[in-house]
Amino acid sequence: MKPDHYCIALAAGLSLVTAVHAEEPWPERVYNPSPLEDDVILPLPCGGAMAFRRVHVPVDSPLDDFPVRVGQDGTGWGYVEQSRPAFISGSFSGEDPGPSRHYLLAKYELTELQYQALMAEECPTPSNRRRLPRVELSWFEAMRLSDAYNLWLRDQAPDALPREDGALGFLRLPTEVEWEFAARGGLEVGTAEYRDTRYPMPEGLNAHEWFAGAQSSNGRLQLAGLLAPNPLGLHDMLGNATEMMFEPFRLNKLDRQHGQAGGFVVRGGSYLTPREDLRSALRGEEPYYASKAHNRGRATGLRLALVAPTLTSRERIATIEENWAALGQGEEELDGSPGTVAQLAELASDVEDDALQEQLQSLERQLRASNQRQEEARDQAIRASLNLGAFLCTKLEDDGVFFDFLADNYRLNCEGDNPDASCAMRETRLAEQEQRLQGLSRYYASSLVESATLYGSDAIARQVEVFGEILSRNPQLSGLGPYLQTYWQHQHQYLEDQRITAEAWLESCKAMANS
User: What is the mean predicted confidence (pLDDT) over 54-61?
Assistant: 95
Residue-range domains of the chain with CATH: 3-307 (3.90.1580.10), 315-373 (no CATH), 378-514 (no CATH)
pLDDT in tens, 293-343: 999 999 999 999 999 999 999 999 999 999 999 999 887 665 666 788 888
Q: Give the model's pLDDT for residue 357.
A: 83
Given CA atoms 435, 440, 441, 442 in this order, what sign does their dihedral have? Answer: positive
The separation between CA 61 and the C-alpha centre of its own chain, rounded to angstroms, equals: 16
Burial class (CB within 10 angstroms; exposed 0-12, middle 13-18, buried 19+) of 331: exposed
Flag the least confident range among 174-178, 388-392, 419-423, 486-490.
419-423
CA distance readout (Å), 10 to 36, 42, 48, 244: 15, 6, 11, 27
> Bridge partners of 242?
300
User: What is the mean predicted confidence (pLDDT) over 21-25?
Assistant: 73
CA distance 264 to 139: 8
- pLDDT category at 421 given cuts 50, 70, 90 is confident
DSSP states along 44-99:
EGGGEEEEEEEEEES--STT--EEEEES-TTSS-HHHH--EEEEE--SEE-SSSSS
Q: Give the model's pLDDT for residue 350.
A: 82
Q: Are 190 and 477 in contact (CB under 8 A)?
A: yes
Residues in the chain: 515
- The phi-psi region of residue 133 (left if phi > 0; otherwise alpha if psi is between -120 and 50; otherwise beta) is beta
Helix (H, G, I), strand (E, B) or coil at 5: helix
User: What is the mean predicted confidence (pLDDT) over 410-427?
Assistant: 87
Q: Extract the runs of DSSP E, i.e. beta strands, from 145-263.
A: 163-164, 167-168, 170-172, 242-248, 252-253, 256-257
Q: Give the model's pLDDT for residue 10.
A: 43
pLDDT in tens, 202-259: 999 999 999 999 999 999 999 999 999 999 999 999 999 999 999 999 999 988 899 9
Mean of the per-residue pLDDT values of the chain = 92
Q: Give the model's pLDDT for residue 334.
A: 58
CA distance 115 to 128: 14
pLDDT over 60 at 13, yes or no? no
pLDDT over 60 at 7, yes or no? no
Q: Give the model's pLDDT for residue 46.
A: 97
- pLDDT category at 450 given cuts 50, 70, 90 is very high
Task: Provide the b/e sequence for 361-392 (b: ≥16 CB within 10 Å).
Answer: beebeebbeebeeebbeebeebbebbbbbbeb
